[in-house]
Amino acid sequence: MGNKVKINYWLLRLLEVKYPIQDWFSRNERSILFLAGIVLLALGMCEYSTAQGLAAKYNDVRIAEAVNVIITYIEGSFGALIMVVSGIAAIMSAAFGQYRAALSLLVVAVGAFILRSIISTFFNDANIAP
């Protein structure tokens, strides 16, 4: 019985032994992670991150035409319908106490009204016909 207790004691002691490399990693954990982040950033800023560079020209005429059609619809009667429906829904939501929904519907109504101005302010609209 005594030998069995001694063997169990030494087995537990062996399991608790930390190897020197584990101690080194646990002491320098933050430094290793910092260096790994610096290496990832340095490798990510290589010339390969430009995705084939400027070798090919992209023709975006079809996309510009599709965007123009969508904006024309929203500026026309469909946009007026969206604006009126979301405005009425915002008033009803505010009346029922749903102020978050009312605010989001108000943003939709105003956004449908000034969509082309928002696009020309924040994006390149040189190819989109007015």
* Same domain (yes/no): 36, 67: no
Number of domains, the chain: 2
Per-residue pLDDT reduced to its tens digit, 36-95: 988 888 777 766 666 665 566 777 888 888 888 888 888 888 888 999 999 999 999 999
Q: Which domain holds residue 36?
A: 2-50
Per-residue pLDDT reduced to its tens digit, 92-115: 999 999 999 999 999 999 988 888
Q: 66 lies in a domain?
A: yes
Q: 20 lies in a domain?
A: yes
Contacts of 51 (CB under 8 A, 6+ apart): none
Kindly state the percentage of the chain with pLDDT values over 90.
27
* Same domain (yes/no): 75, 28: no
Please state the pTM of the whole predicted model: 0.49
* Same domain (yes/no): 76, 24: no
Q: 18 lies in a domain?
A: yes
**pLDDT at position 20 over 80:** no
| Alpha helices for 17-60 (secondary structure H) | 20-27, 29-44
* Same domain (yes/no): 44, 89: no
* Same domain (yes/no): 43, 13: yes
Q: Where do we find the tokens 């005594």?
A: 2
pLDDT attached to residue 15? 63
3-state helix vs strand vs coil in the chain, percent to 5: 75, 0, 25
* Same domain (yes/no): 70, 111: yes
